[in-house]
């Protein structure tokens, strides 16, 4: 075994003991040298001053006794100090050993796939608290990522099943000669593959957002301008469906630092949703600013959202009317993505509705800098 390898196998307890033993030995050694060199001389001098002549038998005995007493005291002190060092090393080793074993066990548990493992802070001082805190944070983060991953895979499988089954059924029909491969069948097939493609895009966007990997290109953004551009992009479709746009835009809205494209994506999502759920009526976009925030709202006069569904619409893949909303094109992550984008900017997004048939309002805000 090489020296290095040997050094690696020496336990923490032995190292601590060696360290403390060295300190004790150096201390005792120093005292020994000093007392041997100085104390007898001093004692001898005092004996002379006290009237003992040189070489007086009594004085010699007294000096001899003094020397023995010092030596015995030093050896007793050495023994006591070594025992204390042993006890202290043992205690510290046990405590630190328990902690290290705890961390190692938790790491193995996590490696084996159980992300709930945590380490208790050992009450050994702030350095060790930092270690256990960081470890627990890491474990928590892993647990979150794992939960997201699992749910995402489940959701994804669920979402893929319908379009794949539809395509499969059509293809089987064509093979069996029951269905003709006419333009309408092709359109149907194309529609399903597009849905799968959109799903793939949404999944990658939502996973990036949920794992906080969204990269933002920060720049000064004039929200009023951005909103007006989004309205122009939607005007034709709104007009076709007979839905009017109304605006209440604060003319003094401050410029915010944000990622322009991402905020455009948020507005597009909200205007698409509003149109999809407003068979006829009006969509109002309003903005205002207070001392801390810049607030944007999109309010429609459409279908509204029932109270029991409202808490869930921001969740990934949640749709109020699963079959119908799916048919209308959404995979149910538009709002999740919109909220993720706004939150990545340090703001937040909320959705409210007084109930079915009574319209919906989505409000989002960014911090004012």
Ligand X SMILES: Nc1ncnc2c1ncn2[C@@H]1O[C@H](COP(=O)(O)OP(=O)(O)O)[C@@H](O)[C@H]1O
Q: List residues near ligand X by CB under 6 A.
A: 269, 273-274, 277, 300, 302-303, 305, 313, 318-320, 325, 330-336, 360
Eight-state DSSP code of residue 310 = G
Comparing CB distances to ligand X, the nearer of 93 and 284 is 284
Q: Which residues make beta-bridge pairs with 256?
A: 221
Indicate whether 340 belongs to the interface with Mg ion (CB under 5 A). no
Rounded to a whole number of angstroms, the minimum distance from the CB of residue 271 to ligand X is: 9
Using CB under 5 A, which residues numbered 259 to 278 contact Mg ion?
Answer: 273
Residue placing its CB nearer to ligand X in the complex, 313 or 344 = 313
Write down the least CB distance from residue 171 to Mg ion, Å.
Answer: 29
Q: Which of 351, 281, 271, 345 is nearest to 311 (CA)?
A: 351
Angle at 38 between CA 35 and CA 41, to 5 degrees: 120
Partner whose footprint covers residue 230, from ligand X, Mg ion, none (CB < 5 to 8 Å by kind): none
The answer to whether 247 and 285 have CB atoms below 8 angstroms apart is: yes
* Angstrom distance (rounded) from CA 191 to CA 185: 10
Which CB atom, from 302 or from 330, has the smaller least distance to Mg ion? 330
**Tokens standing for 80?**
């006591």
Nearest residue to the partner ligand X, using Cβ: 330
> For Mg ion, which residue of 304, 334, 347, 359 counts as binding (CB under 5 A)?
334
Closest CB 325 distance from Mg ion, rounded Å: 8
Those residues with Cβ within 8 angstroms of residue 362's Cβ, 6 or more apart along the chain or in another chain: 270, 273, 274, 297, 298, 299, 335, 338, 349, 350, 351
DSSP designation for 367: E
Closest residue by Cα to residue 88 from 80, 99, 77:
80
**Mapping DSSP to helix (H, G, I), strand (E, B) and coil, where does residue 107 land?**
helix
With respect to Mg ion, which residue has the nearer C-beta, 139 or 267? 267
- Choose the one of Mg ion, ligand X, none that binds residue 132, judging by a C-beta under 5 to 8 angstroms depending on kind: none
Site for Mg ion in 7-36 (CB under 5 A): none
Q: How far is the CB of 165 from ligand X (least distance, A)?
A: 20
CB-nearer residue toward Mg ion: 1 or 323 = 323
Residues that bind Mg ion (CB under 5 A): 273, 330, 334
């Amino acid at each position: 075994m090489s020296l290095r390898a040997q050094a690696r196998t020496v336990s923490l307890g032995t190292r601590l003991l060696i360290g403390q033993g060295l300190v004790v030995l150096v201390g005792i050694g120093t005292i020994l040298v000093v007392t041997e060199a100085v104390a007898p001389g001093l004692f001898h001098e005092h004996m002379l001053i006290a009237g003992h002549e040189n070489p007086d038998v009594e004085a010699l005995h007294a000096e001899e006794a003094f020397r023995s007493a010092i030596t015995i005291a030093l050896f007793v002190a050495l023994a006591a100090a070594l025992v204390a060092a042993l006890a202290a090393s043992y205690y510290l080793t046990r405590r630190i050993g328990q902690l290290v074993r705890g961390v190692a066990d938790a790491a193995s548990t996590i490696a084996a796939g159980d992300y709930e493992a945590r380490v208790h802070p050992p009450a050994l001082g702030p350095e060790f608290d930092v270690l256990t805190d960081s470890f627990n944070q890491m474990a928590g983060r892993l647990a979150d990522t794992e939960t997201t991953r699992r749910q995402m895979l489940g959701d994804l499988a669920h979402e893929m099943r319908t379009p794949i089954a539809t395509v499969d059924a059509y293809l089987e029909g064509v093979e069996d000669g029951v269905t003709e491969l006419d333009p309408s069948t092709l359109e149907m097939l194309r529609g399903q593959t597009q849905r799968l493609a959109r799903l793939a895009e949404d999944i990658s966007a939502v996973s990036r957002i949920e794992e906080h990997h969204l990269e933002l290109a920060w720049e000064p953004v004039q929200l009023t301008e951005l909103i007006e551009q989004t309205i122009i992009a939607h005007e034709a479709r709104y007009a076709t469906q007979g839905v009017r746009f109304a605006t209440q835009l604060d003319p003094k809205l401050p410029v915010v630092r944000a990622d322009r494209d991402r905020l455009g994506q948020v507005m597009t999502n909200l205007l698409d949703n509003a149109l999809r759920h407003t068979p006829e009526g009006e969509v109002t976009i309003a903005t205002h600013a207070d001392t801390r925030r810049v607030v944007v709202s999109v309010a429609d006069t459409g279908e509204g959202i029932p109270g029991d569904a409202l808490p869930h619409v921001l969740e990934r893949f949640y749709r109020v009317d699963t079959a119908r909303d799916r048919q209308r094109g959404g995979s149910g992550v538009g709002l999740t993505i919109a909220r993720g984008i706004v939150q990545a900017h340090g703001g937040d997004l909320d959705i409210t509705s007084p109930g079915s048939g009574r319209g919906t309002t989505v409000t989002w805000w960014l911090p004012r800098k």
